[in-house]
Structure 1
């Protein structure tokens, strides 16, 4: 069999197992084992052990359960309800109203978490119960959360950006600065779609609350102070250099526990319930990550990705033709690989092609990270889809259909940064030019 035939066989096997109801993590691991056992000369048992150990022993991954626990604390105390009460009067006149909190929440939390999985899980835990209780459309909420969760790797700090910077020998600071405007662009496109949808389906949006005076809005905004203080505290700890992005997660838990205790909404019952919930969700996510890491090893051993990249190089495409083909390739890879693996396994072949075509490596870093965001919502291995499936019990393919409009927004954003690369490069050029 050719390498492309092997890849097609493994993808078909994965689809059959997922459709048969096999656990997601088990599916990834089994497909990886079959690929290594029958199509390589390596030992699958040893590679399975090392892949699971390397993934779960990661220092960066230590932030994941802590951020999820922080979300559980917000969900199980009155803090999440207070946040929505404070936002409600300000969003009352905007079509979609509180539905925009999913986008705002993911954007704000993404700026401190650096992880799409942590962002998606945390904001979903806080926002979904409140939106459902207030009568908002669950499908739109799930679609927006699935897509906006990807902002965790686009709005800095971002672990994925650091991995790309190392692979491309690019400036981490420039990459961080370059992520802001594309992140705001995506938030605007997502909110724009929510406004458009709400105007087309007014019967599926709860009626607006009674109009309040400006003074009353300010008074009710006092409910935002606890969550606002928590966000400011986490950002301050990070910016001041007191903690790394991973250590910020621990500070976030301490801050949320302190605020909940000060508000007299923390007790032993919701403390242990939150801890148990965070443990279940974290174990689920880490098990899936380990399975994906093993499948990634299989893809590397078979050489499928290398052959695919060399095929693209042999086409001798124009610069924009190259970008168009890379979009298609990374969309396909996103159906089977996690984002960091996509960068590590393709950078050695793709980056020289990009430099030869005259593209800025910082621009390409944001370009590829936005494609990774799309991979997070692309079946059969759309990680944000899996997170929401395990949290809600709704099939990941149904959630993927709910996410399709936001998928279109992300494709539009990629088109815009390709036509207008200044969206990516203007901030780092301006800041670094002033030597700040």
Structure 2
């Protein structure tokens, strides 16, 4: 069989098994086993055992369950209430007023969570009832929250960055540093859109409440101190070189436990729920990573990545056209798979092509994170859409429609990164 026929057979098998509701990790392993058994000389069983053990025992991957656990602990604290009280006085005079708490709150929580869904859910539980009570329009409230919730993937520490770093053999610490400026810029684009929207719909935004003096605002900002200390301890330990990403994750867990205890939200029940929640989520991710590692090995033995890279190279695509094609590919793929599955499923095939085009893998990692963010708000498998559907009871098509302007802002962000790559690479190169 030629490469095209093998590719069609394996992709078809993949979607058939996925359509049968088999777990994604087992599906990837099954497709890899079929590919190796039929189209390579190496015994599939031996390769599966060695590869899955090797991928599961990676020291770098240890950071992933720790950051997940940290997010689960913080999810059960009073952090969200404190953030709202600290942020609200500073944004009340901006066009859009308290709508900016969605963006700023998600930006801050993203720096201690690493999960898009956790960021969206935590901030949404705080802002949605409050903004609805104050009479803010439902469409822009939900849309801004869905868009800003995706910052949980871009602003370090980020679970998807850890997954990409392991898959592409790129420094996770450098990925974290590289995500800072793009994350701040994207948050700025979101807030800028809210300002423009508010100026065009002046009657839609309720008037702000009582005016506060500068000193009163500073006094209310004391509620931000705990979260800022936690962010400083996690990211500061990485950027200063005192800790690796894995060690910083351990610092974050200890810090979140201390914060939870200080807020009197740490109990045996909350500790147990956070630990079990992190264990369940990590086991799912680890199974996907193990299956993807085996699939990557199988594709290597079959030779599909090399042949695909040669085919794409023969098309004569410029690097920009390649990036545009990959962005479209990942957006379409995001309609059917979650972000982690997208990354681990495709890296083995995509990376040789990207390297052949002389695209910086550090820059490409941030690009991947942004297009995966887009997938978080594209139906039918947009995780943020599911989160908001459960919180608001709205149809997923309605949520996708009100979120679409923020999807377009992410497209703009990809173009800005391409034409100004220093947004990504300058900070890691100068740390």
Verify: 1:149 aligned to 2:152, yes or no: yes
Aligned to 2:29: 29
Match in the other structure for 2:61:
61
Match of 1:281 in 2: 281
Rounded Cα–Cα distance in structure 1 between residues aligned with 2:172 and 2:69: 29
- CA positional deviation for 1:83: 1.8
TM-score, normalised by the number of residues in structure 2: 0.75
1:365-384 to 2 correspondences below 5 Å: 365-367=362-364, 369-375=366-372, 377-378=374-375
Distance 1:92 1:368 in 2: 36
Residue 2 in structure 1 maps to residue 2 in structure 2: yes
Q: Distance in 1 between the 2:8 and 2:202 partners? A: 44
State the match for 2:321 in structure 1.
324
Helix, strand or coil at the partner of 1:212:
coil
Would the alpha carbon gap of residues 20 and 404 (structure 1) be closer, same or farther in structure 2, given more than 3 Å must change? farther
1:211 deviation in Å? Answer: 4.1
User: How far does residue 82 in structure 1 lie from its aligned partner after superposition?
Assistant: 1.2
Q: Give secondary structure in 1 for the equivalent of 2:90.
A: coil
Q: Is the 8 A contact 2:67 2:159 kept in 1?
A: no
Aligned to 1:254: 254
In the superposition, relative to structure 1, how do residues 402 and 50 fare at CA in structure 2: closer, same or farther (>3 Å)? Answer: farther
Q: Using a 3 Å threshold, how does the CA distance of structure 1 residues 153 and 408 change in structure 2: closer, same or farther?
A: farther
**Aligned residues between the structures:** 408
**Cα distance per residue 1:270-319 (max 9 Å; x no partner):** 222222222222223323333333333343333222222111222345xx
One of 123, 130, 150 as aligned partner of 1:127: 123
2:30 is paired with a residue of what secondary structure?
helix
TM-score, normalised with respect to structure 1: 0.74
Residues 202 and 48 of structure 1: CA distance in aligned 2, closer, same or farther (over 3 Å): farther
Q: Secondary structure at the match of 1:90?
A: helix
Change (3 A) 1:250 1:328: same
* CA 179–139 in structure 1, closer or farther in 2 if over 3 Å, else same: closer
Paired residues for 1:10-409 under 5 Å: 10-94=10-94, 95=96, 96-101=99-104, 103-105=106-108, 108-109=111-112, 118-124=114-120, 126-134=122-130, 135=132, 137-138=141-142, 140-145=144-149, 147-152=150-155, 159=162, 179-195=179-195, 210-317=210-317, 321-329=318-326, 331-332=328-329, 335=333, 338-339=342-343, 345-348=349-352, 350-354=354-358, 362=360, 365-367=362-364, 369-375=366-372, 377-378=374-375, 385=382, 405-409=405-409
**Aligned in 2, Cα 1:217/1:155: closer, same or farther, shift over 3 Å?**
same
1:154, distance to aligned residue in structure 2 (A)? 9.4
The secondary structure found in structure 2 opposite 1:248 is helix
CA 1:223–1:22 in 2, change beyond 3 Å: closer, same or farther?
Answer: same
Bigger mean CA deviation after superposition, 190-199 or 73-82? 190-199
1:232, CA displacement in angstroms? 1.6
Structure 2 residue runs without a partner (length 5+) = 133-137
Note the C-alpha offset of 1:25. Answer: 3.2
| Aligned counterparts of 1:256 and 1:405: Cα–Cα separation in 2 | 34
Cα RMSD between the aligned structures?
A: 4.4
Equivalent position SS for 2:89? coil
State whether residues 285 and 387 of structure 1, in contact with CA within 8 Å, keep that contact through their aligned partners in structure 2. Answer: no
Distance 1:194 1:239 in 2: 32
CA apart distance, 1:151: 0.8
Please tell me whether the aligned partners of residues 162 and 172 of structure 1 are also in contact (alpha carbons under 8 angstroms): yes
> Which residue of structure 1 aligns with residue 135 of structure 2?
none
Separation in structure 2 between the aligned mates of residue 401 and residue 302 of structure 1, nearest angstrom: 42
SS at match of 2:115: helix
Name the SS for the 1:265 alignment partner.
coil
Contact 2:111/2:156 (<8 A) preserved: no
